[in-house]
């Protein structure tokens, strides 16, 4: 799966309304074992109100995969943060 020598990072996209499941945990464990960077991005943040959004990010951040970056393709919220994370992974 992750055998490419030049692979430096993986961006994990997850709809903010979903919970972290076994597949996401396995991917995170694999990237850690291989020494590959991981950026976790919660998409569709525009779909939630402030209180629900804050609750979801507490849950996501507490899932053990690291801090999640917010992103919305509709409002472009988080675009710069995600772009910066991708650049950092490429270094």
Does any domain span residue 74?
yes
Q: For 38-72, how does the pLDDT look when each residue is reduced to its tens digit (9 = 90+)? A: 999 999 999 999 999 999 999 999 999 999 999 99
Range of the domain at 64: 9-90
CATH of the domain at 41: 3.40.50.300
In terms of pTM, does the model score above 0.75?
yes
Does any domain span residue 4?
no
Does any domain span residue 53?
yes
Dist CA 64 CA 67 (whole Å): 8
Q: For 4-18, how does the pLDDT look when each residue is reduced to its tens digit (9 = 90+)? A: 667 889 999 999 999
């Amino acid at each position: 799966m992750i055998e490419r020598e030049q692979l430096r990072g993986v961006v994990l996209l997850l709809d903010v309304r979903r919970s972290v499941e076994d597949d996401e945990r396995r991917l995170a464990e694999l990237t850690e074992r291989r020494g590959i960077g991981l950026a976790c991005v919660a998409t569709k943040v525009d779909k939630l109100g402030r209180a629900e959004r804050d609750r979801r990010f507490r849950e996501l951040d507490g899932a053990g995969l690291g801090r999640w970056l917010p992103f919305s393709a509709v409002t472009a919220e988080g675009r710069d943060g995600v772009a910066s994370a991708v650049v950092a992974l490429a270094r």
